[in-house]
Structure 1
Amino acid sequence: MRMKRSTFLVSSFFAAWCLCATAQTALPPGHPSSKELMAAEGVMTSANIARGAADVCHIDAAKVARFKSVVRTSYPDAPDFDGEWKLGLAQAQPTVDRFDKLKTSDPAAYRKQISEACPALDHGMDEVTQPQ
C-alpha cells in the first residue's frame, strides 16, 4: 500500500510539473507543423523537468547538462531548441516558488514531497542519460 501511495505521489508530482509546462505554453510565431509543435512541447516539458531537478532536487549540474544534451538529440524537429528550452525553464518558476514557499511554511510536507519525488526524478534522469 505504501509503495502504491508513493508511486501515486511521484506520478502526481511529475504530472503537475508537466501540466505547468503545458498550461503556460506560448510558442513564438513560426511553428507551422504539428511535428515541430510536438518537438517544441517536448523540449519545453523537458526543460521544466530539468529546472525542477536543478532547483528543487539539487541534482548535479553535470547530470542536468547530460539530460539537456539527450533532449537536444531526441527532438531534432524542434524549430528553436534553445528558445524553447529557455521558455520551459522560465515556465517552471511558479513550481520552484511553490516548493520554496512550502519549505518554510510546512517543512514536514516539503521534506515528504522531496523525499518521494526527487529520488524518482534522479533515477529517471539516470535512465535517460545512460548510453544504450
Structure 2
Amino acid sequence: MTLQPALAGALAVVIGCAAPLAASAQTQPQQSQPQHGQQRSPQSLAMEGARTSGNIARGATDICNIDRAKVERFKAAAKANFTAAPDFEGAWKLGYTEAQSTVDRFAQLKAKNPDEYAKEIGEACPALDHGIDEVTQGK
C-alpha cells in the first residue's frame, strides 16, 4: 500500500468523521487478527482500506447526500492509494454493501426521532464532506 502521508491523514479524518455512519462494518465477521508479533500484509491492509472506503462512500451518498461525482473522485483516490489490493473493486463493493444496515438505521431514526437524526446528520455529514474534500484535494 503506497499511501502518501497527507492522504493518510485526510483518510483518517474521513474515517473518524464517518465512524457514526460506518457502524455497519461491524455486522460482518472481521478477518482474523494477526498473531502477536506478526505484521499484516500490504495486500491485506489495502483490501481493508478499500472495504472501509466503500463503506464510507455508501454513507456519503445515501445518508449525507454528497454528490456522486465527488464520491467517485474519492473512490479514484482510494484506488490510486490502495494499489496493493488484489481485488479493490470486490473489497469496495463489500464495504458499500455492508453499509446497508447503517442506511437503514438512519432511515428508522429519521422516522422515529427527527431531532436526533438532524443532530447526528448535522455533526457527521459536514465533517465527512470536508474529509472527502481533503482526500480528493478539493477536486
Residues 55-85 of structure 1 deviation map (CA, whole Å, 9 limit, x = unaligned): 0000000000000000000100001011111
1:108 aligns with 2:115: yes
Q: TM-score, normalised by structure 1?
A: 0.79
Fraction of identical pairs, as percent: 53
Name the structure 1 match of 2:5: none
Q: Give the deviation of 1:16 after TM superposition.
A: 4.4
1:52 aligns with 2:56: no
Name the structure 1 match of 2:101: 94
Secondary structure of 1:130's counterpart equals coil
**Change in 2 beyond 3 A, CA 1:25/1:50:** farther
Residues 5-40 of structure 1 deviation map (CA, whole Å, 9 limit, x = unaligned): xxxxx987633444532552567xxxxx72111100
Post-superposition, which runs of at least 4 consecutive aligned residues in structure 1 deviate over 2 A?
A: 10-23
1:84 aligns with 2:99: no
Contact 2:20-2:124 at 8 Å conserved across structures: no
Q: Distance in 2 between matches of 1:19 and 1:104?
A: 19
CA RMSD in angstroms comes to: 2.5
Q: Give the deviation of 1:130 after TM superposition.
A: 1.0
Q: Distance in 1 between matches of 2:15 and 2:136?
A: 20
Letter paired with 1:110: Y
Secondary structure of 2:19's counterpart equals helix
Contact 2:55-2:95 at 8 Å conserved across structures: yes
Bigger share in helix: 1
Q: TM-score, normalised by structure 2?
A: 0.76
Contact 1:22-1:45 at 8 Å conserved across structures: no
Name the structure 2 match of 1:20: 24
1:62 aligns with 2:66: no
Name the structure 2 match of 1:5: none
Q: Distance in 2 between matches of 1:35 and 1:23?
A: 24
